Structure 1
Amino acid sequence: MSGPLNRPVRRRTFVLGSAAAAGSAALAGPLAESASAASFGWSDDGSHYVVDTGANLVFKVSKTNGDLTSLVHRGTEYQGYGGKNSHVESGLGTSTVTIAQSGSTILISVAYGTLRHYYAARSGENNVYLWTNKADTSVSATRYIVRVKAGLFLNDEPDSYTYAPTTVEASDVFAKSDGQTRSKHYSKLRVIDYDYIGWNTGSVGLWIVLSNHEKASGGPFYRSLLRHQSADGGGLYEILYYGENQTEAQRFGLQGPYVIAFTDGGAPSSSLFPGTLTTSWADSLGISGYVAAGGRGRVAGVGITGRNTAYPYTVGLANSAAQYWGSARSSDGYFSIPGVLPGTYTLTVFKDELAVHTTSVTVTAGTTTSLNTISIPSSNDPGNASAVWRIGDWTGTPSGFKNAALMTYAHPSDVRASSWTGNVVIGSGSETAAFPAYIWKDVNSGLLVYFKLTAAQAAAAHTLRIGVTTAYANGRPQVTVNSWVSAIPSPPTQPSTRSLTVGSYRGNNYTFTYSVPASAWLTDVGQYNVLKIDVVSGSGTTGYLSAGTSIDAIDLLA
């Protein structure tokens, strides 16, 4: 793909995997010096196509299956561990692999059934550009993994389990001897938060710069694998489709370019980032599914009213074929989303991660679809409702609740987690911080909330709301108010895979409402009413894999 892509300007999170701080970015991407390209070219060693970029980077691609079998930068081999190569998914098998040079670009094309994969090199650049076109479900292509030799990049980050030999859950969550947990799932980051992922020693950096994810699924707040490191070696991922805690159907078509980039120890060049990367040089290469900048459009909005300016707002576009997003300007809500494929999209305005407005927008190639000011009705934001009391903020996230921040990079059993049990008293001033971000049937079901009502409040019926962001094994809240017991609510649609234990609360936001009659309240205004919240489900196993749910907010409406 070429032209400006869909990433918002605010994505500036850099992920480093060593104690060395990133220095100034080394030459990378389109800004690399052309003087270093004297040896640019390719050869055939019989089993591989060997490409020299002329920038101290030589890589090999298998002529048999399209695996990346060698990645040598400044004389050091980085590729491979455990006898495995870098490749789409776990390797494609026998494929048709061809190579062609067009001026200062070399393109290797891999055809495997209906799947097409591409590697491109540019003269004088220490990068490898990759595209993957998955046309249907006949090929299980959900990722590209760059496998990196052990010992080249040392780290002890949350997504590393080099020093964590004890298995906590399944075969992919581990515990160190000090009780801290590690897993390749624990990235901390949402897709909207980062432009690249990798490691750096201070003298060399190896990165994957992600694509615009227009053919991925899950939206801007989705979390998936980014990297891992174990005793065997490390892996950097570009996830093309990831089914764990997934909220959308799989999309098909060309995804990319995503870039394997080397630097002299700094961050990759911002010219490679989605949103700034241009690839007009690829327009005529014949990449299957490629749409140049001229075949794309833009959506721009002059502003958004009805916002709560205490929170960031994101505008997303999505249909069955593609997804995009951009940040709304904090001052007035202005937004611009470029590089959009033609079509009709659902436009969603998110307050933090909570959808508060939707409409439809049509995009035409070569033009900008300009939108008048979007007005968010007050009733669309549940945080605007008058409440007797409220725990948490309506943001579509468990932010502020006990252990919420830790849970994006640790297992619930982690030694750093505060106790998952404990009750809450309204008026204490610490209601949200004391209330657990997650509730499980087998861990802390039966949490109690104590509150008092005035005589006027106790004389009326009230609506109780519990907002959730995801659920595991159909876990949902049933409430008891004093002696009044609610019906068991039906489970909303949620992902069926693990979520709460693998660093993600992102499912489908849903609000449970309970009509509590006036007869449920205590008539003595000096006494505390007691709300009990139980998790009910006939599914799940035990402990942290019992049925559970993540909390967005809880309130009793006035």
Structure 2
Amino acid sequence: MRKNSLAIFGAAFGRGAQAVFGLSSTSTRFTVDTDAGLVFEVNKANGDITSLKYNNIEYQGTTKATAINSGLGTSTVTGETINGYVKITIKASSLPLTHYFVAKPKEAVIYMATYITGEIDPGELRFLARLKTSELPIGVHGDVGDTRGCEAFEGKDTFKCPNGQTRCKMYTSDRFIDDIVHGVTGSKASVWMIMPGTAYETSASGPFMRDINSQTGSTDQELYWYMNSGHVRTEPWRFGLQGPYAMAFTAPNAKPSATLDTSFFSTLSIQGYVPTSGRGSVTGNASGVPKEFETVVHWHNTNAQYWTKAVNGVYQSPLMKPGTYTVKLYKQELLVATDTVTVTAGQTVTKNIASKEPNTPIIWRIGEFDGQPFELRNGDKIERMHPSDVRMATWGGTYTVGTSTAKDFPMALWSKQSGTVTVNFSLTQAQVKAHVLKIGTTLSFKGGRPSVKIGTWTGSDPGAPVLIDSRGLTRGAYRGWGDVYTWNVPASAFKAGQNSLVIGTYGSGDATWLSANYIVDALELQD
């Protein structure tokens, strides 16, 4: 690691003159001094971190320990110094899990990896640092996950504050493809989770999956890395090694590099670790995606997942485990091509992939078919607040083709909230003929899907999409299966001059925001 990187990780921040890198122990705990200002303690009975001192200030929270999930319970915990690194191994007694803490000299970093052979009850796997809110009051994305002074109104995780604003720990999330470093901060330090390289390779649900990053409570500031959960998950769990990943302490807002080097894990006998020599890669051209959209290439099979963004149509994959993979090409987040490729250790294979998105003539289009709702009304807010938040614009309403903009069309519809949306449009006599109506969605809840009506014609019910058994829209999620619905509309539904399309929602539920709903990607009437 370069000298300036060492400084970022705290080697120059208040290291005591007598500090010496190494591992010590008592009958109840291991103590690790990083010789970079960070000293942490691990409980020998269960592998919990019980103390996190940085520059002689205690950052460990006061109510619960820092651990995998809510703690592993009785475990076999061993510590050793190997090849110049400190390694602590925790083998859970009642779970199919082994967790590792690793320290490197002169870095205020706790390197980690988590090896699993099966799903972990209660259906999620996370590393959770419980830190002192008094020392680290600012969460990921500011106050969106700050529940202090607010009251839960949906489940136990979504809160309404006295000013009408809403808070939820899910609002702190970012897409996995972008979420490599996130952290919490205070006046004396920041603490960061770092997921470098192939850290996500054994997680689930691809590059656009999002999960909890932090939650700010009255006593504890919770800092997370979610490896697997049921939060709008679209794939089964993968098993094997999760990581390597890390937790770093720095000066306030000194964000560490996303290219943290973890190659030294190859010298530490970490179960499931695959070194560079045991991996291959893929390169090639990804073509056909308009330049105003991200070009994302995604590889996955039952054992691993990877992704990258193409630059000027050229891509280079991360180093991948050997195997045969499905290859997906996305225009932003809209799937536009699928293929396969086989990766071999020690080799780079060339694989070109091109968009197969049809270029269909249209009469009008609202929004962009890109797998995201952000250009529509409230789409710019939905990741960070509840649909009922006072900062949200009204839902439902009327859109007029030719005068309205994308921001006038709501990004979501409910069966019991917000009513319907009416799209007014004009046709010439020559356009009075059969057309195809297309509505793209990104996420559905409780079977929500569009109902459509033009004049006296009513479109057939397309049927409920495959269920994702998780709240989504009200917890800031927008990405699910990405279902696209089409209707063949007969000429008799149209007339020359003014026409109206009324869009509603099939599905049921009570009269809350948890009734059946769906999120709109875009819609168009094809010529």
The two structures have a TM-score, normalised by structure 2, of 0.94
Q: Secondary structure at the match of 1:501?
A: helix
1:557 aligns with 2:526: yes
- AA partner of residue 474 (structure 2): T
1:29: Cα distance to partner?
5.1
Residue 297 of structure 1 corresponds to which residue in structure 2? Answer: 280
AA partner of residue 71 (structure 2): G
The 8 Å contact of residues 207 and 268 in structure 1, kept in 2 or not, is answered as yes
Structure 2 residue 21 is the aligned partner of structure 1 residue 40: yes
Shift of 1:189: 2.1
The answer as to whether partners of 1:298 and 1:336 remain within 8 angstroms in 2 is yes
The partner residue of 2:40 within 36, 43, 59 is 59
**Equivalences for residues 148-547 of structure 1 within 5 A:** 148-155=131-138, 157-187=142-172, 189-211=174-196, 212-270=199-257, 273=258, 276-301=259-284, 303-329=285-311, 331=312, 333-371=313-351, 373-379=352-358, 384-430=359-405, 432-458=406-432, 460-522=433-495, 525-526=496-497, 528-538=498-508, 540-547=509-516
How far 1:277 moved relative to its partner?
3.0
Contact 1:401 1:433 in 2 (8 A): yes
1:440, 1:535 within 8 Å by CA — same for their partners in 2? yes
Q: Contact 1:348 / 1:359 at 8 angstroms: preserved in 2?
A: yes
SS at match of 1:396: coil
Q: Does 1:123 align with 2:105?
A: yes
Bigger shift: 547-556 or 112-121?
Answer: 112-121
**In structure 2, the residue corresponding to 1:339 is in which secondary structure?**
coil
Given that 1:494 and 1:508 are in contact with CA atoms closer than 8 Å, whether structure 2 keeps it comes out as: no
Superposed CA deviations along residues 273-321 of structure 1, whole A, max 9, x for unmatched, are: 2xx33333221211111111111111111x2222211111111111111
Q: Which one-letter code corresponds to 2:417 in the other structure? A: V
Greater relative contact order: 1 or 2 (C-alpha under 8 angstroms, separation 6 or more)?
1
User: Following the alignment from structure 2 to structure 1, what is the Cα–Cα distance between the partners of residues 253 and 5?
Assistant: 4
Aligned residues: 517
Q: Distance in 2 between matches of 1:537 and 1:554?
A: 20
Contact 1:158 1:186 in 2 (8 A): no
Once structures 1 and 2 are overlaid, which stretch shifts more, 175-184 or 511-520? 175-184
Q: 1:81 to 1:25 in 2, by over 3 A?
A: farther
Q: Distance in 1 between matches of 2:22 and 2:347?
A: 38
In the other structure, the counterpart of 2:70 is 90
CA distance change for structure 1 residues 26 and 281 in 2, over 3 Å: closer, same or farther?
closer
In 2, Cα distance between the equivalents of 1:225 and 1:201?
20
1:268 offset after TM fit, Å? Answer: 3.8
2:280–2:348 Cα contact (<8 Å) kept: yes
**Matched position secondary structure for 1:452:** strand
CA contact (8 A) 2:8 2:250 kept: yes
Separation in 2, partners of 1:385, 1:142: 44
The aligned residue for residue 61 of structure 2 is 80
The CA deviation at 1:530 is: 1.3
Name the CA distance, whole Å, in 2 between partners of 1:178 and 1:198: 26
Amino acid at match of 1:423: T
Deviation at 1:188, TM superposition (A): 5.4
Q: Distance in 2 between matches of 1:518 and 1:530?
A: 14
Cα deviation digits, residues 84-126 of structure 1 (max 9, x gap): 1011111111011111111420100011142110000111111
Letter in 2 for 1:518: A
Structure 2: 5+ residue stretches without partners: none
1:1-20 correspondence runs (5 A)? none
Q: Note closer, same or farther for the CA distance 1:470–1:487 as it changes in structure 2 (3 Å cut).
A: same
d(CA) in 2 for partners of 1:97, 1:249: 30
1:96–1:533 distance in 2 versus 1, CA, 3 Å: same
SS in 1 for 2:475: coil
Any conservation in 2 of the 1:218–1:248 contact (CA below 8 Å)?
yes
Name the SS for the 2:264 alignment partner: helix
1:304/1:374 contact within 8 Å kept: yes
Partner amino acid for 1:174? F
Structure 1 stretches (4+) deviating beyond 6 angstroms? 30-37
CA distance in 1, matches of 2:156, 2:234: 24
2: CA distance, partners of 1:158 / 1:440: 27
In the TM superposition, residue 201 of structure 1 has moved relative to its aligned partner by: 3.0
Superimposed CA distance per residue, residues 191-210 of structure 1 (whole angstroms, 9 cap, x where no aligned partner): 12232111233541111112
Give the direction of change, closer, same or farther, for the CA distance of 1:197–1:488 in structure 2 (3 Å limit): same
For 1:71, the equivalent position in structure 2 comes to 52
* Amino acid across the alignment from 1:553: A
In the TM superposition, residue 81 of structure 1 has moved relative to its aligned partner by 3.2
Over 3 Å counting, the alpha-carbon distance change for 1:36 and 1:248 in structure 2 is farther
Give the counterpart letter for 2:133 in structure 1: A
AA partner of residue 175 (structure 1)? K
Q: Which whole-Å CA distance do the structure 1 matches of 2:234 and 2:289 have between them?
A: 25
Q: Distance in 1 between matches of 2:113 and 2:404?
A: 52
Q: 1:546: Cα distance to partner?
A: 0.6
In percent, how many aligned pairs have the same letter?
Answer: 36
For 1:410, what is the secondary structure of its paired residue? coil
Question: How many Å separate the matches in 2 of 1:268 and 1:520?
Answer: 58
Q: Are positions 1:134 and 2:119 aligned together?
A: no
The 1-side partners of 2:209 and 2:462 are apart by 27
Q: Does the Cα contact within 8 Å between 1:26 and 1:264 map onto a contact in 2?
A: no
1:32 deviates by: 7.6
SS at match of 1:554: strand
TM-score of the pair, normalised by structure 1:
0.89
RMSD (Å), alpha carbons = 2.1
> How far apart are the structure 1 equivalents of 2:6 and 2:22?
22
